[in-house]
Amino acid sequence: MHYWVKASASDFSGTIPQPRSGHTAVPIGKSKIVVFGGLHDKKFLNDIAVYDIENKLWFQPECTGNGSDGQVGPSPRAFHVGVAIDCHMFIFGGRSGNRRLGDFCVLDTASSIGNQKIVMYGGWDGKKWLSDLYILDTISLEWTELSVTGSLPSPRCGHTATMVEKRLLVFGGRGGGGPIMSDLWALKGLIEEENETPGWTQLKLPGQAPSPRCGHTVTSGGHYLLLFGGHGTGGWLSRYDIYYNDCIVLDRLSAQWKRLPIGNEPPAARAYHSLTNIGSRYLLFGGFDGKLTYGDIWWLVPEGDPIAKRFIKSPPKDVPGSKGMAAENIQSAFKEGRRENDAITELQRTLGISVSLSGPVLQILDESEDKEFIELGSRLTGERVSSDEQGLINQTIEILRDHWRTATPSSIPLKELGPLLRDYQRLISRHHLASSGSDIQYIDSWLSGKEAYKFYHLKNVSQLRIDDIPKLLAEYKKILPEQNTSGPRERLE
């Protein structure tokens, strides 16, 4: 079992890098991680931030040298390639505004380079997707194009290319014409001493393979490769974006895909982030989810790690158990003074949901506190709604619910699924709280079987599958209040 733990102030000293996506974070030896470049608020970056692992210190080094435009180091960029060999970091290409870059820079941090090489496959040059293969000799700094015959992966960008012993593994990416892929390829013939003819082989491995995606990370850790996050698409008639926060392992020993068991809620879904291995830990930084650029830092650690103990802990003395914890969250959401813990616990028990302090608690927001819900309704009405206009808020809520009342699954874009799921959970919880205090038998008959409302326990929309959307919408329509002009009702029939 692994746990996600958000980094605390005690984990680091120094200046933490600003939020960004499309950056690189590469380990230099076993003591440092170097972060370079990226994109933040439409601004391309070229700063360097170093994390000293032993001293738990972030700092910005003073660098010397010349870049392609006469400045010290590479020009600002994102979506570039960053590779570490010994104590050197190699930077190639990337994008800056509408320009695609093809320059090459080396950051020398200490000792000399061994006889090693860098392999680069595919990409996007601003006009077309690429499937070419180049090798850089890090001693002569000369590029050589490698000719490969036989079956070839389709041209792509946004993929990962990971060296595993003698093979290069390529997964996913976005191809010509826009499709996002989930194929896995292995390239042999890169090691001169092996005298192998270069050739690609498509690998179709058993297990729970990742969905199609680009902008993900694949990080080596012992006998397995860990895939996290990425950007995909969904929909039938109209396509919409999906961002992932799942952890999938490619086990090199059993040669199959596996889901990494996670004991708590993962970080927000994202792509174009970095995930770096530090011993048995992984360090997640940055990323983008279509709206937000992240600057948060997370640890992914095994159960026995000291950092995991921050999450796995006993409840405070003044909280008798998970029932009290659930009540505290519901009280803050609805701002009511009465005790609601029995009702929430009974609802979760009826739905077959496990209630435990070792896992996250579902938080139910009131409509007025659900900013994304209100903003979506405002776009439908064409009027900007402020928090002190309760009458207009009620009207906006009704219009949005009427919109979903007549919607079909194929007509709902991804941006509406989050607000829809939260309103579905809100209506179930509110009905239960309004009813349970006086008529438990009525509640049991209304929630007759946990299969009827199986989406209540989902923590976020990323846990929905494509084929769940028609079922979610159908259940939502069943629990909607009757149409009225006086605002949302507390009671559902």
How high does pLDDT run on average in the chain?
A: 79
* pLDDT for 64: 79
Q: Which helix (H) or strand (E) holds 404?
A: helix 390-405
| Res 338 pLDDT > 70 | no
**Region 111-116 average pLDDT:** 53
Q: What is the pLDDT of residues 160-202, one digit of tens each?
A: 999 888 889 999 999 876 689 999 999 988 887 778 888 999 9
| Res 85 pLDDT > 80 | no
Nearest to 441 by CA among 323, 344, 350, 353: 350
| Res 231 pLDDT > 80 | yes
Which regions of 315-419 does DSSP assign to beta strands (E)?
Answer: none
* pLDDT for 236: 64
Lowest mean pLDDT among 356-360, 393-397, 433-437: 356-360
**Region 274-284 average pLDDT:** 92
Tokens at 477, concatenated: 């329509």
| Res 86 pLDDT > 80 | no
Q: What is the pLDDT of residues 47-80, one digit of tens each?
A: 989 999 888 899 988 887 766 566 777 888 989 9
Query: pLDDT-derived band of residue 223, with 50, 70 and 90 as boundaries?
Result: confident
* pLDDT for 227: 96
Tokens at 489, concatenated: 């009702």
The identity of residue 447, as a single letter, is L
**Region 436-441 average pLDDT:** 42
Residues 6+ apart with CB under 8 A from 249: 224, 225, 226, 227, 257, 258, 259, 260
* pLDDT for 166: 84
Q: What is the pLDDT of residues 235-267, one digit of tens each?
A: 766 678 899 999 999 998 888 999 999 988 899
Distances in whole angstroms, Cα of residue 333 to Cα of each of 153, 166, 423, 476: 50, 54, 13, 21
- Give the whole-angstrom CA distance, residue 317 versus residue 408: 49
Tokens at 449, concatenated: 């079987």
> What distance lies between CA 80 and its chain's CA centroid?
20
pTM for the structure as a whole: 0.62
